[in-house]
Amino acid sequence: MDRSEAASIDTSSSLGAGQRLHLLSYNIQAGIDTSHFRDYLTKGWRHVLPSRHRIQNLDRIAQILRGYDLVGLQEVDAGSLRSGFVDMTEYLAHRAGYPYWYRQVNRDIGMIAQNSNGFLSRLAPTRVSKYRLPPGNGRGAMVLEFGEGDDALHVCTLHLALSRRHRRRQLDFIAERLRHAEHVVVMGDLNTSCDTTEFRHFVERNGLREPGCSKPTFPSWRPVRRIDHILVSDSLQVLNARVLDYPFSDHLPVCVELLIPERIHLAA
C-alpha cells in the first residue's frame, strides 16, 4: 500500500528524450521500527542487541526498495552484534534485487555497532568516492558517478550532523567536491529543514533545488519536520517527488522521478 504525499511538479513542458530514473533516500534507523515516542525507550535496547523483529522489518523495507533505480540509505549497520552480524546494505541489496551495493562505515564501535551509509544501484557506477565529513565525528558521504566527463551524473548520499556549526562545515566540504559537476543529486538525512541558512546557502551555491520541501518526514508517525531531502540540479527535470507513508523507521522515505538528459550515458 502506497499512501504517498505527492509534491506539486510542473511537467507541462515537453519531456523530450532521455532516461527516467527513480531515486529513493531512507534513514532506516538500523532496521528498528518506531511508531511512537515511547518506542525510543521500549525499543532502545535494539540499538545494541539483536532482535528477530529487525530482520522482519528489513524485509518490509526491501519490498518498497524494489521499484527504484538508485537508493541512498542512512543509519544502516555493516554487521555487528545488534544486527546479528548482518550487513544491512548487502542484505537489502540481495532481498530487493540490486546488482551493485556500497557501504561506508562512519562510526566503528566494534562488535556493538557499525554505523554506516549504504547505496544500492541497478546501474554500474564509473567511480565511487567515500569521504569522512568534518570534523571527524562519525559522519560520512559517498559520491557515485555515472557516465564520464562533463556529462557524468554525480549522486551524493550523506548523513549530516545534529550540530548546525558542523552541518555548515560538512555542506561546504561537499559543495567543494561537487563544484565542477553539472548534473548533481544530493540525497540523505541532512538533519536540517529547507528554511535554514546553511541549507539555502548550499542549494544556491550548487544550483540545486528541493522539489518537495512542504512535505515533512520526521517523526514518521506524526511528521512535522522535513530533514530528509533529495536535491537536484537544474539540468535534471523532476517528474514527480513524494514522501512515502511507510513508517518502518522513525523517518519516512523520500523519492523522486527524474528525466535524465539524453547526452548522459548511464551503463546498465
4-20 mean pLDDT: 53
pLDDT at 50: 62
50: phi then psi, degrees, rounded to nearest 5: -70, 160
Look at residue 21 in the predicted model and tell me its pLDDT: 97
The pLDDT-based confidence of 40 (bands split at 50, 70, 90) is low
Band (pLDDT 50/70/90 cuts) for residue 83 is: confident
Q: Which residue carries 555548515 as its cell? A: 168
- CA distances (Å), 47 to each of 1, 73, 76, 106, 188, in order? 28, 17, 11, 16, 21
Q: What band does 15 get if pLDDT is binned at 50, 70 and 90?
A: very low
Whether pLDDT at 6 is above 70: no
Q: How far is CA 228 from the centre of its chain?
A: 8
Q: Name 98's Cβ contacts closer than 8 Å, sequence gap at least 6.
A: 65, 71, 92, 120, 121, 122
Q: Pick from 258, 135, 102: which is nearest to 186 by CA?
A: 258
- Which of 14-18, 25-29, 86-90, 166-170 bottoms out in mean pLDDT, i.e. has the lowest? 14-18
Helix ranges (H only) for the chain are 39-42, 52-65, 88-96, 164-177, 197-206
Per-residue pLDDT tens for 186-199? Answer: 999 999 999 999 99
Instruction: Lowest mean pLDDT of 22-31, 187-196, 208-217, name the range.
Output: 208-217
Task: Of 116, 112, 93, give the one whose Cα is nearest residue 103.
Answer: 116
Q: What is the pLDDT of residues 48-82, one digit of tens each?
A: 666 888 999 999 999 999 999 999 999 999 998 88
**For the segment 90-140, what is each residue's pLDDT rounded down to a tens digit?**
999 999 999 999 999 998 888 888 999 999 999 999 999 999 999 987 999
What pTM was estimated for this model as a whole? 0.91
Res 5: pLDDT: 52
Domains and their CATH numbers in the chain:
18-261 (3.60.10.10)
